[in-house]
């Protein structure tokens, strides 16, 4: 059984994630490849695609949201993601257990004794026939039915037990505000349906493999997946990492040779950073503690495929300026390349503004 070292796993992940060379594939195909793009913050999916695609423009993703080809809703790990509408139809039912578990952890005490099936029925009635409500609006409407219940728990519970999406302009480039809810099957125009974990496992390995069972569980939010991987074992290729952990992959997918990796800026909550339980293929354990803080995953700078620092971007529209600040963990091996990629990021974010790149040591 072939043993894959960390650098080999790093290059494989970068290759699958379109981070060794920007791709000229369509935005739709890229969203399909990535399975689901983290979308807790409205601009994150745009940065995620910009750093992977050769000529990506913000309007391309916005157009896919407006024509309902791409939808935004709670999927992997029970958090906000964008996915193809065709994929959401089977992904959302598959991860229902994860959403239920998260709801119970957050609101189980205040909602003890609630009939969640009844809650789903009442919430669905409020959203039927194309009605769109924000979470607070839906919660207040449900509170008219149950005035003695915690209003916040009503809103979040409804989101967990009912398959909803968040129609644009919510979640589009630079658009914030309250999150609207619409019934997923009405917005998409097709019913949702159940599928087996094997489908998601194969999609995950195509985008992130080789990877372990624990890696998949961390990325998806699903639990107890050993049996599902065992069932697939005869159809998968199996490796080991340097610690003897089994790694699974789809047969026929290449493991690239060692070579240089370009500078890349990953947004907060990027797919790649959240795709593994063992993230040493990307960063040291010490750096992981800085990048992943509680529920927050910070924007990272990759140099030669490894996390070398954090970045923040401030766009002052009134002043017509944009500043990209990089906090490096150690001296950068190729600072001119970092500055060049930073200039591209500023042009994507704030074309026409005065741009400034600042590189400073990590204060910690």
Separation of alpha carbons 23 and 341, rounded Å: 16
Q: Out of 6-15, 176-185, 198-207, pick the least confident.
A: 176-185
Give the CA-trace dihedral at 52, 44, 273, 195, to 10 degrees: -90
Give the separation between CA 212 and CA 203, rounded to whole angstroms.
14
pTM attached to this predicted model? 0.95
Question: Tokens 């037990």 sit at which residue?
Answer: 161
Tokens representing residue 52 in the block: 């992977």
DSSP three-state, residue 230: helix
Element (H, E) at 229: helix 226-232
CA distance 267 to 217: 22
Query: Considering the chain, what percentage of its residues have pLDDT values greater than 70?
Result: 100
pLDDT at 91: 98
Reported as a single tens digit per residue, the pLDDT across 228-276 is 999 999 999 999 999 999 999 999 999 998 899 999 999 999 999 999 9
Q: Is 124 exposed, middle or buried (0-12, 13-18, 19+ CB in 10 A)?
A: middle
Give the burial string for 146-181 (b: 16+ CB within 10 Å, else e). eeebbeebbbbbbbbbbbbbbbbebbbbeeeeebbb
Q: Are 157 and 112 in contact (CB under 8 A)?
A: no
Beta bridge mates, 357: 324
User: Are the C-beta atoms of residues 216 and 204 closer than 8 Å to each other?
Assistant: yes
CA dist 341 and 284 (Å) reads 23
């Amino acid at each position: 059984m072939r043993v894959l070292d960390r650098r080999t796993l790093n290059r494989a992940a970068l290759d699958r994630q379109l981070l060794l060379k920007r791709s000229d594939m369509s935005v739709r195909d890229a969203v399909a490849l990535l399975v689901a793009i983290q979308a807790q913050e409205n601009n994150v999916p745009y940065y995620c695609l910009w750093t992977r695609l050769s000529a990506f423009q913000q309007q391309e993703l916005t157009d896919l949201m407006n024509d309902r080809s791409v939808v935004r809703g709670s999927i992997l790990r029970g958090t906000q993601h964008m996915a193809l509408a065709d994929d959401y139809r089977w992904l959302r039912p598959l991860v229902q257990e994860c959403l239920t578990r998260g709801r119970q952890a957050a609101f189980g005490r205040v909602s003890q004794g609630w009939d969640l099936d009844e809650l789903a029925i009442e919430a669905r009635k409020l959203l039927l026939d194309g009605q769109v409500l924000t979470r607070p609006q839906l919660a207040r409407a449900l509170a008219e039915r149950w005035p003695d219940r915690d209003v916040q728990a009503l809103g979040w519970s409804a989101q967990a037990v009912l398959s909803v999406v968040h129609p644009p302009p919510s979640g589009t480039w630079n658009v914030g505000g309250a999150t609207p809810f619409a019934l997923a099957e009405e917005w998409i125009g097709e019913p949702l349906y159940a599928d087996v974990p094997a489908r998601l496992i194969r999609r995950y390995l195509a985008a992130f493999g080789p990877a372990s069972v624990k890696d998949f569980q961390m990325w998806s939010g699903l639990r107890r997946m050993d049996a599902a991987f065992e069932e697939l074992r005869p159809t998968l290729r199996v490796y080991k990492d340097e610690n003897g952990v089994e790694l699974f992959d789809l047969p026929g997918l290449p493991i690239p040779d060692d070579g240089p990796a370009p500078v890349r800026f990953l947004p907060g909550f990027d797919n790649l950073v959240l795709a593994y339980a063992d993230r040493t293929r990307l960063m040291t354990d010490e750096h992981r503690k800085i990048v992943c803080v509680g529920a927050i995953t910070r924007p990272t700078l990759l140099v030669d495929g490894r996390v070398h620092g954090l970045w923040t971007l401030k766009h002052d529209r009134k002043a017509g300026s944009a500043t990209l600040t990089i906090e490096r963990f150690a001296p950068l091996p190729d600072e001119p390349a970092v500055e060049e990629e930073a200039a591209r990021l500023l042009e994507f974010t704030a074309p026409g503004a005065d741009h400034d790149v600042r590189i400073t040591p990590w204060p910690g």
